[in-house]
Chains A and B, each alone.
Chain A
């Protein structure tokens, strides 16, 4: 069965420090992978996506993620965190069935940023 695991429920970093959020997926075919961010009381905003090709993808707000097929991972990174990055981050895999798609999400990682 398809699934997404985000091993870290909470992460706290200092402003200016680097960040890596982990994501592991289980999916039999070539995955479509996504990272979304959710601020309190808000919907989901797409940070970046991987469909094919270059395994290092760039997103908005200075985020990047690397797809590693051998490790079934799609970790999100940012070299220098800003206080405004405090939010909840969700990794998701796109599951295709009969031409239609749905997303399976991980449980999320809540990021706190210390000044």
Chain B
């Protein structure tokens, strides 16, 4: 059973460039969330996708956008990169189908994409 897979694992960009990160959820999961983890900090929620729509969004600017595909995989796009965007970007998947008390919100995380902006 494949877990959450992310690509690329590492990448280096320069300020002003754009980046796309990719995520495939755990088999059977239908929801993908993205988190940003800056060095020495806990992960911060960026947004969540379900049924190809953004369902929740954290306190991140519009430079951060995403997409979910019919096969539940997802992309995170960041435009006009800033030095402060350097971080580990974590993708997490979960199962929303069956919302209600059974939806306990347990997330399964990938190993992340480490972005360095120079």
Contacts and interface: CB of A to CB of B under 8 A. Distances in A.
Interface of A: 4, 32, 34, 36, 42-46, 49, 51, 90, 92, 94, 96-108
Nearest to A51: B104
Nearest to B42: A105
B8 interface: no
Given A100-B31, A100-B56, A103-B45, 16 more contacts: A32-B104, A32-B105, A44-B90, A49-B104, A49-B106, A96-B103, A100-B48, A100-B96, A101-B107, A102-B33, A102-B45, A103-B43, A105-B42, A106-B42, A107-B41, A108-B40
A36 B111 CA distance: 13
Contacts of B31: 100
B25 interface: no
B105 A44 contact: no
A94 B112 contact: no
Contacts of A32: 104-105
Contacts of B103: 96, 99, 101
Interface of B: 4, 31, 33, 35, 40-45, 48, 50, 55-56, 58, 90, 92, 94, 96, 99-100, 103-112
A90 B108 CA distance: 14
**Smallest CB-CB A-B distances: 10 pairs:** A101-B105, A105-B42, A99-B99, A94-B105, A43-B111, A44-B109, A43-B109, A102-B45, A100-B55, A107-B42
B42 A108 contact: yes
A46 B104 CA distance: 14
29 contacts: A4-B42, A32-B104, A36-B109, A43-B4, A44-B90, A45-B109, A46-B106, A51-B104, A90-B43, A92-B42, A94-B104, A96-B103, A97-B56, A99-B96, A99-B100, A99-B103, A100-B48, A100-B55, A100-B56, A100-B96, A100-B99, A101-B94, A101-B103, A101-B104, A101-B107, A102-B33, A105-B42, A106-B42, A107-B42
